[in-house]
Structure 1
Amino acid sequence: MKEIKIGLIGLGGMANVHLEQMAKLEGVHVTAICDSNAQAVEQAGDKLNIAQEHRYADYADLIADDEVDAILSITPNNVHYEIVKCCLLHKKPFMTEKPFTRTYEEALELFELYETDPIPSMVGFSYRYVPSFRYARDLIREGKLGAIRSVFVQYLQSWGVSMVGTPMNWRYQSSITGTGALADLGSHMVDAARFMIGEFTEVTAQMKTFISKRHDPATGSEGTVDVDDFTGFLATLEGDVAGVFQTSRNAYGSGNQLEVTIYGDLGTLSVSCERGNELTWIRPQAESGDPSLSVTGRHQVPAPYAVTQMQDFADMLRGSVRDELPGLQDGYANQEVLEAIAQAASLKRTIAPADIRTQTRTAEGVS
């Protein structure tokens, strides 16, 4: 089995989640690390037994390290573009966190660079690795729901509500994050819908900032929030499927609540990341012969659907790519839909994601 040496960029909380998964894989090891926080680098380096010459402050130096086979980038949104571009130029396989980039223009440049010379790549749409989401996708593809008519998706969290008192941080600054709830949570909603149903053909939207000022620990004064706390949008997906979506980080009582319900002619499926090993399936009572009589069942997801994100990443690096793997193309397509949603909210009209690329090129004076 091929030994894989991973270079880890970013040593925050999510890095620990990936490290836990990676520790269970055979022949996959982190051999180089990078972070702007020198103390974090030293602490993680000691814990992971990383040689001093492979502890970096500059991501470009880590990516250029000939002893690193692939990059795992777990960073804030404003550096996704630079890191992915550096990986593409060095032809270094990678996984980057979502959203793919901070802006659509960054996403388009990376996508076009990738198209000229593709390399193994992955974008961290982690909910593709919820077993029930993968199972639901297969049931839909097998025609168990018949023709799909509509989908409802919501992703709700509560850490932004007033009573919690969450201070200013990078997720409230457009210069770092791009958009707010839309980029943070909405990117997962868009990917879940693309994963299970298909491409978006048009969207209309609204975006709201509920709390415009938050205490900034860095300055001791009030900071201005310039991103959305809530985004809701209507969409049409391929096959003329109607979609209703909402996301908020100000939904009191919600934990980490990503839920998808798919309505078809022959039944309804509901899945939630909070109950990842089961799905709810509503379908006609076969024995009654009366289609108006339904039965609601909770079904355990078969064991083969339990694949971790890091397992998929390692298998990709070894040359085995599953159909479900979210590649760079998925990251770009996701960013295209996010841009369409943001434009639809700003212009108060329906936007087709497919037009975004042409509009951007026209605005840049490129034919």
Structure 2
Amino acid sequence: MTTYRIGLIGLGGMAQAHIRWLAEAGGRFRLVAVSDVNPQALAAIGAKHGIAEGKRYADFAQLIADPDVDAVVSATPNDVHAAIVRACLEAGKPFMAEKPFTRDFAEAVPLLALYERRPVPAMIGFTYRYTPAFRYARELVRSGRIGAVRSFASQYLQGWGAALYNGPFVWRFDKTVTGTGALGDLGSHMIDLARFLFGEFEELSAQMRTIVPARPDPRTGEPVRVEVDDFVSFQARMTGGVMGVFQSSRNAVGSGNQHEMSVYGDIGTIHASTLDADHLVLVREDEEGRISRSLLEVPDRCKATQYEDFLAMLDGAPTDGLPGIIDGYRNQAVMEAVIRASETRSVVEL
């Protein structure tokens, strides 16, 4: 059984999760190289995980070109997503890259063209496809358990950006680095989950807002203007006329990581949330007209991890629903439509 040698790009907070997930894969992965622009992080992570000094790269392109690296995992800020994906495609190196696919749609277009010329096994990190409750909701929707789906409501709320906390100006608020704010950070997950459950977006309208207009520079304390959204809402018509309402904010005090969806069908409703990932609520009306609410435990068949899918892809047997390059590209196209709809105060067709 093949053990894949992994090169990890980006050694910030998300890197710790990826390192843990790699270690939990039953010996099928081995971390052999790391890359980061921060020399202290490079030295510390490299030493902690026994990475040879010659495999600690300041330049991610050198890691991607390393013949001892079988596949790449990228966990970086948004401004280098496109360059890393491009380098992997040009090198023919399989990869998993964090979402959003790119900083904006303009960066996504040439990457899709390159991928179509030089396809490589690739995965985009839409992690909520692997939330058990959402996977079970998908199964119930597809099996007709709630009848024809007419509408759904999706929200993804966090509270860390609220004015109450006077949070500093970090890269997630820097438009040159992140492209968008709550939309790309949280909204991209809502968009992907909607596509995972219901199909493609056909048209939408939207509003975006910057609630906290300035944040203190972490070094000087001086206010820095925020040019990205920290609240976004939009409504959309999906494949088959399914209507969706979306809301995302990083200013929801009391919300840690609250991603949830309610799905409304002709004969029932499903409620699923990250707050209870192993259960969902099914609402039905019985033959006597009584409404019942059942807390259903997610069956084991609906439990899969992102790295199980990554491994299946590398083994040459990608699973149904694995988020790939096309998913990343279409996600970016929807986000571009949200921005355009908000700016023009119009309905945008996709």
TM-score calculated relative to the size of structure 1: 0.94
In the other structure, the counterpart of 1:360 is: none
Amino acid of the residue matched to residue 13 of structure 2? G
How many angstroms apart in 1 are the aligned matches of 2:218 and 2:11? 21
How many angstroms apart in 1 are the aligned matches of 2:272 and 2:349? 27
5 Å-filtered alignment, 1:146-157, equals 146-157=147-158
Query: 4+ residue stretches of structure 1 with deviation over 2 A?
Result: none
5 Å-filtered alignment, 1:79-228, equals 79-228=80-229
Contact 2:90/2:118 (<8 A) preserved: no
In the other structure, the counterpart of 1:348 is: 345
In the other structure, the counterpart of 2:303 is: 306
How many angstroms apart in 1 are the aligned matches of 2:12 and 2:86? 22
Pairwise CA distance, 1:219 = 4.1
How many angstroms apart in 1 are the aligned matches of 2:21 and 2:324? 19
In the other structure, the counterpart of 1:33 is: 34
How many angstroms apart in 1 are the aligned matches of 2:98 and 2:33? 18
How many angstroms apart in 2 are the aligned matches of 1:350 and 1:219? 42
How many angstroms apart in 1 are the aligned matches of 2:220 and 2:200? 43
DSSP 3-state at the match of 1:332? helix
Query: Is residue 18 of structure 2 the alignment partner of residue 18 of structure 1?
Result: yes
In the other structure, the counterpart of 1:78 is: 79
Contact 1:22/1:311 (<8 A) preserved: no
How many angstroms apart in 2 are the aligned matches of 1:134 and 1:27? 24
Query: Is residue 280 of structure 2 the alignment partner of residue 284 of structure 1?
Result: no
Query: Is residue 323 of structure 2 the alignment partner of residue 322 of structure 1?
Result: no
In the other structure, the counterpart of 2:334 is: 337
How many angstroms apart in 1 are the aligned matches of 2:317 and 2:140? 23
In the other structure, the counterpart of 2:290 is: 293
Pairwise CA distance, 1:239 = 0.7
DSSP 3-state at the match of 2:236? strand
Pairwise CA distance, 1:332 = 0.4
How many angstroms apart in 1 are the aligned matches of 2:18 and 2:302? 19
Pairwise CA distance, 1:27 = 2.2
How many angstroms apart in 2 are the aligned matches of 1:252 and 1:37? 32
Amino acid of the residue matched to residue 305 of structure 2? T
DSSP 3-state at the match of 2:319? coil
Pairwise CA distance, 1:44 = 0.8
Listed one character per residue, the Cα deviations across residues 15-43 of structure 1 (whole Å, up to 9, x for unaligned) are: 11111111111221110000001111111
DSSP 3-state at the match of 1:239? helix
> What are structure 2's unaligned runs of at least 5 residues?
none
Bigger CA drift: 341-350 or 142-151? 142-151
Listed one character per residue, the Cα deviations across residues 108-166 of structure 1 (whole Å, up to 9, x for unaligned) are: 11111111121100000000110111111111111112111001000011111111111
Amino acid of the residue matched to residue 94 of structure 1? F
Contact 1:38/1:57 (<8 A) preserved: yes
How many angstroms apart in 1 are the aligned matches of 2:10 and 2:275? 26
How many angstroms apart in 2 are the aligned matches of 1:311 and 1:19? 14
DSSP 3-state at the match of 1:228? coil
DSSP 3-state at the match of 2:240? coil
How many angstroms apart in 2 are the aligned matches of 1:302 and 1:347? 45
How many angstroms apart in 2 are the aligned matches of 1:13 and 1:128? 21
How many angstroms apart in 1 are the aligned matches of 2:346 and 2:340? 8
Contact 2:149/2:242 (<8 A) preserved: yes
Amino acid of the residue matched to residue 17 of structure 1? A
DSSP 3-state at the match of 1:53? helix
Listed one character per residue, the Cα deviations across residues 245-288 of structure 1 (whole Å, up to 9, x for unaligned) are: 10000011111010101100121111001211000000122xxx
In the other structure, the counterpart of 1:67 is: 68
TM-score calculated relative to the size of structure 2: 0.98
Contact 1:214/1:225 (<8 A) preserved: yes
Aligned-CA RMSD value: 0.9
Listed one character per residue, the Cα deviations across residues 285-318 of structure 1 (whole Å, up to 9, x for unaligned) are: 2xxx23x422100000011222111121112111
Contact 2:3/2:28 (<8 A) preserved: yes
How many angstroms apart in 2 are the aligned matches of 1:154 and 1:111? 29
DSSP 3-state at the match of 2:307? helix
> What are structure 1's unaligned runs of at least 5 residues?
354-367
Contact 1:148/1:265 (<8 A) preserved: yes
